[in-house]
Amino acid sequence: MRAGLIALAVGAAAAIAVPATGATGPLAPHAERAKSPRVTVADYYYSPTSLTIKKGTKVRFKWAPTNTDLHDVWLTKGPKKLTKKQIRRDFRSATGSIGVRFNPTFERRGSYSFVCTLHRSAMRLTVEVNGGKKARGGEERER
Ligand SMILES: [Cu+2]
């Protein structure tokens, strides 16, 4: 259970300052106020492994405080309109075991594939970004 894991890890993680700010940061003026989904980056897995969000959503990645190994989150495949520069700047996290900050905002629709470059086969994440009318579970499409 997650609460148990966190409690266990408090001792080990006490020396590392992890900012505990809420989701009250400023949003882009035109973006809808969507809550930020979270993805846990743990030893050899991401949780969840897939995510469907609306365009303009920020995703908060949290490195598990129990980690003992290094991990990162790198985009390997994304919408065609993303430039290499954008990919490098916005969709590649730093590498670390705990305390890494990575909160990309997904401004373009499409399918995004991420891996941990250190554990490519074990750690994969897919993010589907749709137009913004109906996120998650919306099977209907306007045509
Ligand atoms: Cu990893």
Give the closest residue to 57 by CA, choosing from 115, 137, 132: 132
- Residues of the chain with pLDDT > 70, as a percent, come to 68
Q: What is the pLDDT of residues 55-94, one digit of tens each?
A: 999 999 999 999 999 999 999 999 999 999 999 999 999 9
Q: What is the pLDDT of residues 86-116, one digit of tens each?
A: 999 999 999 999 999 999 999 999 999 999 9
How far is ligand 1, taken at its centre, from the CA of residue 42, in Å?
8
Chain mean pLDDT for the chain: 81
How far is ligand 1, taken at its centre, from the CA of residue 44, in Å?
5
Give the closest residue to 5 by CA, choosing from 50, 53, 47, 59: 47
How far is ligand 1, taken at its centre, from the CA of residue 38, in Å?
17
Number of Cβ within 10 Å of residue 93's Cβ equals 21
**Angstrom distance (rounded) from CA 143 to CA 126:** 25
How far is ligand 1, taken at its centre, from the CA of residue 118, in Å?
5
How far is ligand 1, taken at its centre, from the CA of residue 39, in Å?
13
8 Å CB contact between 118 and 70: yes
Q: Is the peptide bond before 104 cis (omega within 30 degrees of 0)?
A: no
How far is ligand 1, taken at its centre, from the CA of residue 1, in Å?
21
pLDDT value for 16: 44
pTM of the model: 0.69
Complete domains list, the chain, with CATH:
34-129 (2.60.40.420)
How far is ligand 1, taken at its centre, from the CA of residue 48, in Å?
14
The protein residues having their C-beta less than 5 angstroms from ligand 1 (an ion) are: 71, 116, 118-119, 123
Q: What are phi and psi of 132, to 5 degrees?
A: 115, -5
**Residue 19 pLDDT > 60, yes or no?**
no
